[in-house]
Amino acid sequence: MQVSSLYRYPVKGLSPEPLRSVSLRPGETVPFDRVYAIENGGGRFDPAAPRYLPKVNFLMLMRDERLATLQTKFDDATETLTVMRDGKQVARGQLSTSLGRQLIEQFFAAYMKAELRGAPKVVHAEGHSFSDVSAKCLHIVNLASLRELEKAVGRPVDPLRFRANVFLDGLEPWSEFRWEHKEIGLGPVRLTVFARTQRCEATNVDPVTGARDMAVPAQLTRAWGHQDFGIYAKVVEGGDLKVGDAVAPPA
């Protein structure tokens, strides 16, 4: 039972970045995970008084599948986002500066024109994470459960459809659902599982091509009577988590 892979998503709705290790602190998420988002018009997010907003306020895969055709790279030191399509750079901007945000906003204003309700705006607030849930947490997926889903749909399913921070392997299928409200260990890190992840239509989108080519929530309902896949967990004891670290399920 081990950590198979680790990911972060610096900008909500954009591509994942694989990690070999990550330093986790109690009550926090993966550093630079969903630290930025792109508002789809409106301007409801106030950086001076940050609060959780539903994902419908932002560009997101559930509705805006064309985002999956973009590849992005994020530099921690400068907070610079590079956007590529088909291997070619199409936009670049330092998100910690107004000019850099403007360059990224201009690109998305053109690229996502048909999907926008108003001018796109890159938003950020110190210490805020634009997660799909209000709690600061990690999203965890069991690859054994993924293989059961693959049997049900009769085709391979890219695990990145589920946009998790941590993928685990070597477990029994669906055993993660028995961890709710219990403490688990991932390497030196201790976490408390507080909820299952209810899936939305974002999982129907191929994370490479952007094609809306599956019906994952509907398939989960048909096969298992619910739309849950993955779990959310809060860090209660921090440490440096690495790919290959052992998993300690609840006693």
Q: pLDDT of the chain along its 251 residues, tens only?
A: 999 999 999 999 999 999 999 999 999 999 999 999 999 987 788 898 999 998 889 998 888 888 999 999 999 999 999 999 999 999 999 999 999 999 999 999 999 998 898 999 999 999 999 998 989 999 999 999 999 999 999 999 999 999 999 999 999 999 999 999 999 999 999 999 999 999 988 899 898 888 889 999 999 999 999 999 999 999 999 999 999 999 999 98
- pLDDT at position 117: 87
Q: Distance between CA 115 and CA 93 in Å, rounded?
A: 22
Domain that holds residue 99: 37-123
Q: Distance between CA 97 and CA 165 in Å, rounded?
A: 27
Residues 213 and 96 in one domain: no
- pLDDT at position 209: 86
Neighbours of 99 (CB within 10 A): 8
Identify which of 220, 225, 224 has the alpha carbon closest to the alpha carbon of residue 203.
220
Residues 206 and 91 in one domain: no
Q: Distance between CA 79 and CA 106 in Å, rounded?
A: 18
CB distance 164 to 137 below 8 Å = no
Of 71, 97, 123, at which residue does a domain stop? 123
The pTM of this model reads 0.91
Residues 104 and 149 in one domain: no
Q: Assess if residue 108 is contained within a domain.
A: yes
pLDDT in tens, 116-158: 989 999 999 999 999 989 899 999 999 999 999 999 999 999 9
Q: Assess if residue 200 is contained within a domain.
A: yes
Residues 51 and 170 in one domain: no
pLDDT in tens, 94-116: 999 999 999 999 999 999 998 89
CB distance 189 to 235 below 8 Å = yes
Identify which of 144, 166, 172 has the alpha carbon closest to the alpha carbon of residue 157.
144
- pLDDT at position 64: 85
Residues 137 and 243 in one domain: yes
- pLDDT at position 56: 86
Q: Assess if residue 154 is contained within a domain.
A: yes
Residues 100 and 165 in one domain: no
Residues 96 and 153 in one domain: no
CB distance 155 to 219 below 8 Å = no
For 107, the enclosing helix (H) or strand (E) is helix 98-111
Q: Assess if residue 128 is contained within a domain.
A: no
Residues 23 and 143 in one domain: yes
Residues 104 and 165 in one domain: no
Q: Distance between CA 65 and CA 48 in Å, rounded?
A: 30
Q: What is the CATH number of the domain that holds 211?
A: 2.40.33.20
- pLDDT at position 54: 87
Residues 117 and 241 in one domain: no
Domain tally for the chain?
2
Residues 205 and 157 in one domain: yes
CB distance 218 to 233 below 8 Å = no
Residues 66 and 162 in one domain: no
